[in-house]
Structure 1
Amino acid sequence: MKLLTWQRAALVVAVPAIGLGLATPALAVTPAAPVAVTDPAGDVYNDDDELVDAPYADITNGDVKKSGANLVLTYKTAKQLSPAEDPNWESESSLTDFLIDTNGDNKEDFDVEYGLDEDGDIYADVYKLPASDTDAPACTGNGDFVNGVHTITIPLSCIGNPAKAGYRVETMYDLDVNNTESLAGYDSVPDEGFAQVG
């Protein structure tokens, strides 16, 4: 685990409050966007709320679909490069969160965190929210980068097998891992609310 979304709240201009999730969802999600979402390029902001050029963090589309007993989460950026080949992903300030709303209250109940571990391998960990930096993942999934697309697969059982769910993708990217004073760049899609899982 690197840095959970709630720990970054002070750095991001508008991160919704973390909700208290239910183990077994009973409500349907009311999505704020279509199933697959797109985002214009050139909208990455840094810690000082300044627009920055960070194409490897600049989300252009995201999608989450059920596939059998799994949930498959994907996103693409303006420029594509595997985290394993990008030195800036070695920073603790570089990771991606898929925030999942499983009970329709428009608040995140799970955080699917995607990044590089200490060995330089891609990981995908699922955390039940709210969480602390000492909490172990609720489960782990598989993360991969294939044909320019970041892909995460997790078991649906890990998030309570919801009948419906919503999602939001958030990137955090160290702009220069070799500079100790480097700022991080941020992007999200959708910008507000949650898109519906297909």
Structure 2
Amino acid sequence: MTGWIKSGVLAWVEGTRYDDETVLVYFKGVDRGFVRDGLIAVRRPPFACGGDVGGGEWGVVVHPMYDPARDDYDLIDHRKLCPPGAELVVFVPNPCVAKAHGPQAYHYRDGRTVSCVDYEAPTDVGEYWPNELAAVITAAGPDPEDLDKEEQLTRLISDHFGLPPLDRGSLAVDRDLVAAHEG
């Protein structure tokens, strides 16, 4: 299921119509504790986590994009959560909650950025905007006129990496932490 790309993961889990400012992180090659501790260190504690996974499988966490209580609106550097042997696929459904910009996806491997996918121009590649997925996206030929192009592109990226589908029942949400963050 990829409907969360339109509103954010927590809004999708809760079934609300309001967008949230969360980031979905799939991780492989590191355990959830490593990712959790890394997020806590940069003041983005996980709001939700998927179940335990074995080696070589994709785990999932959801964390806040910003920390408004500290007036911290900078994006975090996910490369620090991706040591050698690890891989991350990061989805940012609402980089601008006013929806002035479309979603973004990032692929990290061994501590480096491999792909940055801007859903508004998914095949763009640049010196500071690597995109190994550009060829995959071009070959798949997503329909730019499709009203569900965000979901279409999310499915393409997810299928390419073999990411498990996100299921509302598979995420444990820390509602107290969410409430305290919104506080």
Pair in the same fold by TM > 0.5 = no
Higher strand fraction (1 or 2): 1
TM-score (norm 1): 0.34
